Structure 1
Amino acid sequence: MNNISKNMIILAIGQALTTTVVSLLTLVSSLSGNFLAPLPSLSTLPVTATVIGTMCMIYPASIIMGKLGRKNGFMFKASIGFFGGLICYLALFIHNFYILILGTFILGVFSSFGQYYRFAAIEVAKNEEEKHIAISVVTGAGVIGGIVGPFLGGSYAQSISNTPYGGAFIVLSVVCILLAISQFWLSADLGKIANITNSKTEKFKLNQSFYLITLICAIGFSVMTLVMNAAPISLHHDGFNLRDTALVLQIHFILMYIPSFFNPSIIKRIGVNGLISVGAFCSLLASLLSFYPEQTKIIYIVELGLAGIGWNFIFNGGTLLLVNTYSPNLKVKAQGINSLFVYSANVFSSFGAGFLITQYNWKAVNSVCIPLLILVLYLIAIKKVHKFKLNLFS
């Protein structure tokens, strides 16, 4: 097995286990918040704390991995996730909402490192075609976590009689142990920047293309965050039980990641811009379906499924465009800034999801998504991304 394939497989395993943690957390975080929150409108505050934790650490995570490499960075994040899960369990055990917020914030720090699997996947590739394959395999592996996470959450959330949802967080910590073990086998030098200190003095230009692609990535992720975080509460309000909610989220996560395996073939036919456009149309259709009078379980499955496909196409397509907008020596800064912008948007989306779903309804959540997705289609339609010169070295 050559070095590229070995690293690719290990990264795929890491992505799968990371997605297991994230999807499990998505299922039980807002429900745990709803259980402990002093006010209903604060029920998604733990989710928001996770996003804030991610936003605070997303840029430093890029710097840390530039110095230490992907291996040490991903193992470090696994240890953070382990302690975050235990703190959330403690919060539920002693019925303390604010400790739950602390625990979910720490899990946000964990999540910040996980956002760099997409860039690590590209780093193991030697050419453009291998980039498409690598990001396809690594991000596509998330489908495993999308199935396993909600299954574990639904199976163990009520396993400890006096601590609702506590069992799910114990399982989350166990998954983090497995994650740390798996990432030990990554090549030690993967992702390291030998002259990272010298690159600080290099003139760093964020051209207009970088900003537009970052905007597309931010919209793709924030729309998904709005819908995904509001869905468990909307399903709960509509009378669906935890297992129904878990099924809807499982399908959502499956369709967030499994399309990655087909992305290289799709890109060959319609290009990266076409991939992003199809993703925006899928997410737009999902939002429009929220206006259907009777929101059955099947309708929720279709909505969340389309939203998952939309995220995959928009975000992966945006990532592939992004890596051509900066020089190799500046990848740590560029990747960190892109991720920081994306998660700044997610903070508003996460808190907005709680406000919109508790103060208004499911339609209101999706109404916010529609103009954002139209903006993505507009940016792609006028081919702004390709019109700007990527003159990073002048």
Structure 2
Amino acid sequence: MTRLPSSTYVLSVCQAMNLTAAVVSVSVAALAGERIAPSPGWATLPYGVQFAIVAILTYPGALFMRQFGRKAGFLLGATMLIAAGCVGFVSVEHASFVGLVTSHSLLGAYVAFANFYRFAAVDNLSMELRPRGVSLVVAGGVLAALIGPWLSIGLGSAEGYAPFALCYASFVGIGMVTMALITVWRPIPAIPVKAASDLMVVRQQMTAPIAIAIFASASAYMIMNLLMVQASLVMDSMHMSFDASTLAIQGHVLAMFLPSFVTGLIVVRLGFRFTLCGGFILLMAATLLALIGIGSFGNMLSGLILLGVGWNLSYIGGGALLAKYLTDQNRHRMQGINDSVIAICATVGAFSPALLQTLIGWKNTNIACFLICAIGLILAWRGTRRAALG
């Protein structure tokens, strides 16, 4: 079997740094905001602004890298992460809420660039290696699932510093490691090709497989965020212990990223059709467990694990399908559109759980998610039957 180039492994570690920062951020943002916000209702504003900045800057970030190159974009993103750490540390130490919002805005700018690591891994890569390249980069989340909570717990209440100040300071170290990795990273050289005509470029834009790839990744991300966050609220209402709910979420996060080591091979062996359909079926199974009953920890844990694995297959399968149909002429534009849609859907998934829990409850939320997955399953089955590797 052909080996992946060393540049792919560098990007996998960069992705681990990206997701480590994300785990630390989600762990402390609301708690830090609650301490220094003008009122409790503003506590989640910094994290909300972070998501909004990701959605706003993702497409411009893709255009920036088209003009100046991947390396320039990733180095700019790492600089933003370092700045976010410095501003966040000072803001928490001096109880500046405006500064905290600024820190998360800078963090969002970093994420807008870092989300393209998985696509940079397949630039100029042979077609048969692209699914494995996307999969390996996403697998960096396994390291993040182990390091992120350790950093948050270990630095959250360090003596001599304001609570969570050192958590933000850790972004400086993560950013410096990322900058060093990107500095030594060597993209795969492009193979010269004949320039396409303007008409050909237009025809190579939004095709059915590309639309299905975007829908698969974005809908899976929205459903995963929505049900993961709402599950935390449900477990709290069931008076489960913090340790038990934390174990369930950790199991979910590991289920999201551990399969990445083999998902690329699954795409190669089974194809896009069965990978995407398998992802949507697992997501549907997760919602069905919730409809059967929520009376036990085992039920919640099983549902969250199915949710994580289903997300993995749908998200990586969608990314690999997108990579197959992109060309040098349209890749930056389509990758920008893809990740902008994902960012918007992830934002909806992150901010709607409490509202949906109040308005329609856990079971009805799962019914709605089941219907979205059913649509995805039909689209994947009918729209990818001709999408074969090679």
Q: TM-score, normalised by structure 1?
A: 0.83
Equivalent residue for 2:162? 163
Q: Which residue of 1 aligns with 2:55?
A: 55
Counterpart Cα distance in 2 of 1:354 and 1:98: 25
Match of 2:181 in 1: 182
The 1:74/1:219 distance shift into structure 2, 3 A limit, reads same
Determine the structure 2 residue equivalent to 1:100: 100
Q: Is residue 139–residue 258 contact of structure 2 (8 Å, CA) maintained in 1? A: yes
TM superposition shift of 1:332: 0.9
State the TM-score, normalized to the length of structure 2: 0.84
TM-aligned CA distance change 1:174 to 1:142, over 3 Å: same
Change (3 A) 1:189 1:344: same
Which residue matches 1:391?
Answer: none
Code of the aligned partner of 1:181 = A
Q: What code does the residue aligned with 1:149 have? A: G
Residues 91 and 364 (structure 1 numbering): CA distance in 2 closer, same or farther, change over 3 Å? Answer: farther
- Kept in 2, the 8 Å contact 1:50–1:105? The answer is yes
Instruction: State the 1:146 CA deviation.
Output: 1.8
CA contact (8 A) 2:208 2:383 kept: no
Contact 2:134 2:319 in 1 (8 A): no
Task: State whether residues 222 and 345 of structure 2, in contact with CA within 8 Å, keep that contact through their aligned partners in structure 1.
Answer: yes
Tell me how far 1:249 sits from its aligned partner.
3.6
Q: Structure 2 counterpart of 1:259, which letter?
A: P
Q: Deviations over 1:296-321 (max 9, x none)?
A: 3x444333322221111101111121
CA contact (8 A) 1:154 1:242 kept: no
Q: Structure 1 counterpart of 2:325, which letter? A: T
Counterpart residue number, 1:25: 25
SS where residue 323 of structure 1 aligns?
helix
Aligned to 1:384: 383
8 Å CA contact 2:16–2:142 kept in 1: the answer is: yes
TM-aligned CA distance change 1:280 to 1:250, over 3 Å: same
Equivalent positions of 1:293-332 (< 5 A) are 293-296=294-297, 298-332=298-332
Matches within 5 A, 1:1-394: 5-33=5-33, 43-123=43-123, 125-126=125-126, 128-160=127-159, 163-187=162-186, 202-203=201-202, 205-232=205-232, 246-291=246-291, 292-296=293-297, 298-357=298-357, 362-363=362-363, 365-381=365-381, 383-386=382-385
- Tell me the percent identity: 22
CA distance, structure 2, for counterparts of residue 98 and residue 358 of structure 1: 30
- Offset at residue 371 of structure 1 (A): 2.0
* Deviation of the 1:38 alpha carbon: 6.0
* Structure 1 residue 195 displacement after superposition: 11
Answer yes or no: is the 8 Å Cα contact 1:144–1:254 preserved in 2. no
Which structure 1 residue ranges, 5 or more long, are not aligned?
A: 389-394
Q: Distance in 1 between matches of 2:82 and 2:243?
A: 25
CA distance in 2, matches of 1:176, 1:116: 16
Q: Secondary structure at the match of 2:326?
A: coil
Amino acid at match of 2:168: F
Using the alignment, how far apart are the partners of 2:192 and 2:21 within structure 1? 28
Structure 2: how far apart are the matches of 1:200 and 1:14? 37
Instruction: Report the count of equivalent residues.
Output: 383
Q: Distance in 2 between matches of 1:353 and 1:6?
A: 40
Which secondary structure does the structure 2 equivalent of 1:293 belong to? coil
Distance in 2 of aligned mates of 1:265 and 1:242? 37
CA–CA separation in structure 2 for the residues paired with 1:53 and 1:102:
11
Of 233-242 and 182-191, more deviation after overlay is shown by: 233-242
Q: CA deviation at 1:11?
A: 1.0
Amino acid at match of 1:294: G
Give the whole-Å Cα distance in 1 for the aligned partners of 2:42 and 2:193.
Answer: 45
Q: CA deviation at 1:331?
A: 0.8
1:83 to 1:366, Cα distance in 2 relative to 1, 3 A: farther
Q: What is the CA deviation profile of residues 154-211 of structure 1, one whole-angstrom value per residue up to 9, with x for unaligned ones?
A: 3322335763333322223322221211221111676899999x98995363234432
Pick which of 2-11 and 68-77 moved more.
2-11
> Shift in Å at residue 12 of structure 1?
1.4
**Displacement of 1:53 after TM fit?**
1.0
